[in-house]
Structure formats: structure tokens, C-alpha cells
Structure 1
């Protein structure tokens, strides 16, 4: 039969074949998808989970097989396109109550400068250990200001932030089943030894100079307890037991964006620190002096009942940077020539935080067990004390053989 080209074609076009699902895999448009059934852990009801976007059938099948194994193990996680930058932003907001204000500000700065510009656009579920390792390499090579190398300690700190965040992405938010940060290669850092560590005689000279200052008690307690700056500035009289000769460290004060804020201790736990008779005497004298200030201020007194141990003359809590700046001034005053002659015992410059190091070093050299020193300092693990003061412990160990030999001879 001959078809007349001038006659209309009344035949219907053939229907396109409908995509068929074969063993959980099918083609949709130009890409492949798979579907598996996943049991809801709360209801126990099995529901289908579709995942698409695969370029080939083999890729879809491989992903399907992996998903099936995870579903059987109860570790299957739905696909999520949230980026690293968005997740870290949400993570900081959701954990803000658990992190001290100063630490939170530090985290935000680190993420803004050293994470988001490099991997912020990646999807959390697409981050591989190699991407984290490359981040560290890039930071070490040119992550600093004006493209200069970034300090190893800063890169290690960035690693600590990411480690905590991605751990929560696994355990808390269940976005991923394992953390790529744990398998990344991070740079090693050797902990720096403490700064200037005065001898007991030099410490006594410093405290003698500081005795005339209204905050002398602060420096004395800092040196005799090893407490941190913020912990002492947070200390209340209700935390001080002069009869029992102990103080309880319950929190810490810091500065965030120029504002004084109070929060938990670095470890998040409170601790009790014993004090000696001299420190009890110093605190009693300080309390009497504060009472005189309170009476002189009258209605203008801004402190609260059983308020802060260390305050201004008007009862306000001390601003942290005030006590940080004072040691330099006191050391300069001590070293200033008197009657045209320099002091016989000039003091090398030391920071406020070095009083903490002096406390720990003096105790360790005196043979106090590491775990006892760690408890006084508020280290959550004595291993931290061992690492920070390894040089002190090595110094004490050199005499261990002689100590043992002398003990045997004395028998």
C-alpha cells in the first residue's frame, strides 16, 4: 500500500517506555537513582528512601549496596546537602550554652578565618579526610596574614575545633556516620615549655614589691594556689573557707568583645584547693581592707553580699586585663634604681600566667606527685601536666638514682 504524503497521518506516536525499577535501581531522566527501605528507629516502621543523581547505573548500584549494608547495621543516614559553613554556624548556635563565652568567640574567629574560606562550601557529607589534610597543608603554607605561613599551634587549634564539630555531626546530629577529621593527618606540635619561671626567692621579692598594692592578695593567692586569672576574678567570699583552709574554684571570668563575662572553669568542673596559713592570713587582711572600702563607699558600694573576693574600691568586679597588666608595672618598679643604685636582685620579666607555672614547677621539684599537682591546677588529666612540665619532671628524674642509692645505704 502506497502512502499519500498529502494525506494526514492519523497514527498515534508510540508511547515512551516507562522507566522500570530493577533491584532497587532505575533511570530517571539523565541520571540513575536507587531506593532502599529503612526502618525508623523510633516507630519500627520500614519506609522507602530514594537517592538520585548518579551518572551511571554501576555508580547507583554501588551506592545502593553500601546503603543496604548500613541499613542492616542501623547506621544508615539520609542524604543532606548542608554545607560545612552552614553546619558550623548552626553548631555554634546550638552549643553556645555549653561553651564559655571567650572560647565561643575564639571558635567563631577560627572558623571564619581558617575553615570557611577553604572548605566552607563543601557539603558536610562530601568532606573526606584528604580534604581536611589539604586544609592543614594550605594553612601551614599561606593561611596567615598577607599569605604568610600560619603557626603550627594555630593549625592544631583549628583541628581541635573541627574535631569537636564533626564529632557532634556524627553523634549528636547524625549527619555522617564517621568523622573525616579523625582520619586526617594533622601537623604535630611540641608543647612549648612555660615562660619565665622565677625561683622561690624571686617570687618572694615580687610579692614584697606588690605588698603595697591594693591587689597584693590577688597575686599572692595566684602564686600560692596556681589558679588561673579568670578563676580568681570569679571567686566569691562564699567560696572561701578560711577556717577549713581551702577555696573552691567554681567558675571563671573573661572578656568577650570588651565585655566582662563569667562562665564555667576551663574543664567545666569545680575543684577544691587547699591553702596554707600565710595565705589564710593574707585573705583575712584583704577582707578587712575590703570592709573598710565598703564602709567608705557607703550607699555607693556596688558589691553584693558575699560578693567577689577581688573588687575595685567601689565593689565592682575586677576587669581581667587590669591584673594582666600589673605584673609588668610591679616588676619595673622593683627593678627601678633606688638612690641611684640598681636593685641587688633584679627580676626578669614574667607574665601573670607564669605565677601558675611557678606554683606547679616548685611543687614538682619538691617531689609532690604529678596527680596532686594536676588536681590543684585543674587539669582534667594528669597527662596534661606531664606534657606541659615534662622538662621539670626530667630534671627531677636525674636525681632519682642518687635518691634511691642513698635510701638503700641508710638502711
Structure 2
């Protein structure tokens, strides 16, 4: 058999494929071109291996594909093409990814599944055979997302899932290379964190003081703990003698479910010291919670959580966020999310002259560089204050020199 040949899918009266025996092949437009390659002997079974691939529109295309396959066979990089569509593969990959965990948060996996099922699998990219996916397919997918009005951040998150799946396919030798590299990703404009002034924080906490859960917001503002860390806090994690809380649990929203897990990083598992105001708020809240338990009697559920509903059940994350926004609107303050209180705490610490390393440790960042990147625009005034304080430690030789320096500074 020639290594490049033409064949068709016509069948005889017995239903068998005619292949290259079809008389209609006399018509040069009938059928399609294919190639055949001998691929040596299987080292395990001892049987001869063959590489066959068809569906080419011309003899030249088949010859080119044959030559490319021959080079890959010689290099040991050849991967047999598969009929599995990329949309089917990424769904299978996601199921495996979820079973193995791979260190992803439950809420992240929920987003992954939404992106795969609603955006990736139903798209034209999803209908391309896995082994035929190329960079231009992925770039076309990115362009379509942008044309549909999806934001740059969302597009990058969706494409990150595509990149992860194709990277896994390449690692498993399902494809001979990862086509999701060197992509044309949209730029994301970095927004500076907008925080309230200290007086505005005071206004918010004054309004929150009228709510039974005011201690929740006191701790959020003055400890910088994440929402999940606050809602996952148990009384066994609170040491009122040392005036500190230990972060051991994270209570987060994953779709419609509530999931609890230990902090992902060693830095996240930390002990946070409490100030007098936060300690007092926790003591008052503990007494109020005990009164609620007495009022509810047998209907009360002792769950051990610090922040609960009136019946003792732990708070749902979405409830805490909605309550924060309700109190913010009531106080007439600029828009901020519940998570914004974490940045507010960082802002207050920096403004108070706290060392960035201590800020990073209290927030539970894995490195000081992360804290610096997030809070870089907040450090400006504190940096100037530090410069002035440092210079003030060194006495000037004379009043004249001080005057000269002052005049030069004023210019």
C-alpha cells in the first residue's frame, strides 16, 4: 500500500466499506486523502504499530501531515489523534480535577464548573477535536468572549481554566503540545483600593453598634480577618486571657453550599492579637449570646460558633455581606464590600506607622511582597511620615542651617 492514498466511505451491497476500491474514485473530487506510516514494533506486545490518518482535502496536505508525523515518530513525540471533542475532554478533566482536589477551594471549583459548562464546552472551541485544538482556536474563543461583553478579568479567569486543561492534556500525552500558550489576553486595569477615612469607619461602627452583631464588624475592622475566617471562628479559638483569636477554620460560600476547611496556607493559620475595643466587643457579645440561648431554651442549638443567628446556628456568608451593605447604606457611606474591611484594617495599621511585615503577618499573607503589592498606594503618606520622623532624630548644627533647609524645602 502506498503511504499516501485516496479512499472514500462508500459501501458495497454487504455494507462493507469500499475504501480505495470504490469505482467512483476515478472522479478526483470523490473521497479524501489519507496516509499510512509504519511505526515499528510495540515493545510490550511485539506487534507491528501503524499510524493512519485521513480526511485530507488534497494529496499535498496528506503528504505534509505524513512527513510531520514521521518526524515526530523519530523524535518520540508523536501522539495519535483522538476523536474526542475538547468540550467532552474538559468536562472529564474537570470531574477528575474535582475528585483529586489539587488544592483548590470549593468556591473556586464552583466557578470552574460554571465556566466549563456555560462558556467553554458549548462554544465553537468545545466542538474542536482535542488533538486539533490550536492557538488560533483559543484566541478566537477569547475574542468571542470579549465581543459578547465579558470583562477582562472574567475572560482571564475563563481562559485560565482552558490553559489548565490543555496543560494537563499535554502532560498526559493526549496532545503533542500545549496550544494555550502565547495567547492574546486582554489587559486588566489595576484599580487602587478605595478605603474610608478613620472618621467614616467610626460612623459605620456607630451605626453597627445598634445591631446585635456589632462585634462582627468590630473584629472585621480591627483584625483584618477574612469573612470566612470570622464566620468560621469558634469560641474555642478565642483566648480572652491572652486577648487573641486563632484562625483555624474558614467558612465560605461555594455556590448554594456552605463549605468549611482549614486555611490553605501556613500563613493563614495564625493568631491575631486583639485591641481593647475588640476584646470588649467580644465580651459583650458573649454575654448577649448567652442571654439569647436562655431565651430560646431547648430550641437553641449550641454550635460553638462565635457569630450566630438568634437560634445558635452559624451565619451564612451571604447574610453577613448583605448585613454589612445594609448598615453601610444606613450610615450614608461610600460603597465598599465586606472584604473591604480587610483592606480598611491594613490602611489603618499603615497610617498608624505599623511595620509592613507585621501588617502582612496579621492579615495572613504568605509573603510581605503580596501585602506591598496590595497596599502600595496606602503606604505613601506613612512613608513620608517615616522620612520626616527619621530626619527629626538627627539634630542640626545650627538654627541657620535648619532655616536654610526649611526655605529650600518650601521652594
Distance, in Å, in 1 between the alignment partners of 2:135 and 2:174 is 16
Pairing 1:275–2:273 present = yes
Distance, in Å, in 1 between the alignment partners of 2:273 and 2:388 is 32
Question: Against the structure 1 CA distance between its residues 38 and 295, is the aligned structure 2 distance closer, same or farther, given a 3 Å change threshold?
Answer: farther
Q: Is the 8 A contact 2:42 2:49 kept in 1?
A: no
What CA deviation, in whole Å up to 9, does each residue of 1:131-187 have, x standing for no partner?
2222222222x22xxxxx22112112212222333333334x443354322321211
Distance, in Å, in 2 between the alignment partners of 1:105 and 1:380 is 24
Pairing 1:179–2:185 present = no
TM-score (norm 2): 0.76
Q: Is the 8 A contact 2:263 2:269 kept in 1?
A: no
- Secondary structure in structure 2 of the residue aligned to 1:308: coil
TM-score (norm 1): 0.76
Question: Against the structure 1 CA distance between its residues 404 and 328, is the aligned structure 2 distance closer, same or farther, given a 3 Å change threshold?
Answer: same
Distance, in Å, in 2 between the alignment partners of 1:349 and 1:363 is 21
For this pair of structures, how many residues does the alignment match? Answer: 361
Aligned equivalent of 1:119:
125
Question: Against the structure 1 CA distance between its residues 374 and 291, is the aligned structure 2 distance closer, same or farther, given a 3 Å change threshold?
Answer: same
- Secondary structure in structure 2 of the residue aligned to 1:271: coil
CA positional deviation for 1:233: 1.2
Q: Is the 8 A contact 2:238 2:245 kept in 1?
A: yes
What CA deviation, in whole Å up to 9, does each residue of 1:249-285 have, x standing for no partner?
3343333454433345466974214122322332233
Pairing 1:107–2:112 present = yes
Aligned equivalent of 1:162:
162
> For 1:6-21, what aligned pairs fall within 5 Å after superposition?
19=1
Aligned equivalent of 1:189:
188
Question: Against the structure 1 CA distance between its residues 115 and 401, is the aligned structure 2 distance closer, same or farther, given a 3 Å change threshold?
Answer: same
CA positional deviation for 1:26: 6.9
Question: Against the structure 1 CA distance between its residues 67 and 302, is the aligned structure 2 distance closer, same or farther, given a 3 Å change threshold?
Answer: farther
Pairing 1:389–2:395 present = no
Pairing 1:328–2:325 present = yes
CA positional deviation for 1:359: 0.8
Q: Is the 8 A contact 2:321 2:337 kept in 1?
A: yes
Distance, in Å, in 2 between the alignment partners of 1:248 and 1:168 is 37
Question: Against the structure 1 CA distance between its residues 68 and 289, is the aligned structure 2 distance closer, same or farther, given a 3 Å change threshold?
Answer: farther
Aligned equivalent of 1:341:
none
Q: Is the 8 A contact 1:251 1:270 kept in 2?
A: no
> For 1:367-406, what aligned pairs fall within 5 Å after superposition?
367-397=353-383, 402-406=388-392
Question: Against the structure 1 CA distance between its residues 78 and 104, is the aligned structure 2 distance closer, same or farther, given a 3 Å change threshold?
Answer: same
Distance, in Å, in 1 between the alignment partners of 2:366 and 2:228 is 17
Distance, in Å, in 2 between the alignment partners of 1:38 and 1:399 is 75
> For 1:121-136, what aligned pairs fall within 5 Å after superposition?
121-136=127-142
Aligned equivalent of 2:93:
91
Pairing 1:353–2:339 present = yes
Distance, in Å, in 2 between the alignment partners of 1:329 and 1:211 is 13
Q: Is the 8 A contact 2:69 2:78 kept in 1?
A: no
Q: Which moved more, 1:311-320 or 1:101-110?
A: 101-110
Distance, in Å, in 2 between the alignment partners of 1:326 and 1:280 is 22
What CA deviation, in whole Å up to 9, does each residue of 1:307-366 have, x standing for no partner?
21111111111122222122333244445xxxxxxxxxxx44433222111012222333
Distance, in Å, in 1 between the alignment partners of 2:160 and 2:381 is 31
CA positional deviation for 1:375: 3.6
What CA deviation, in whole Å up to 9, does each residue of 1:211-267 have, x standing for no partner?
232111111111112122122112222333333443333343333454433345466
Question: Against the structure 1 CA distance between its residues 235 and 36, is the aligned structure 2 distance closer, same or farther, given a 3 Å change threshold?
Answer: farther
- Secondary structure in structure 1 of the residue aligned to 2:117: helix
Pairing 1:311–2:313 present = no
Distance, in Å, in 1 between the alignment partners of 2:219 and 2:301 is 24
Q: Which moved more, 1:255-264 or 1:226-235?
A: 255-264
Distance, in Å, in 1 between the alignment partners of 2:239 and 2:308 is 19
Q: Structure 1: which 4+ aligned runs deviate by more than 6 Å?
A: none
- Secondary structure in structure 2 of the residue aligned to 1:120: helix
Q: Is the 8 A contact 1:152 1:187 kept in 2?
A: yes
Question: Against the structure 1 CA distance between its residues 130 and 237, is the aligned structure 2 distance closer, same or farther, given a 3 Å change threshold?
Answer: same
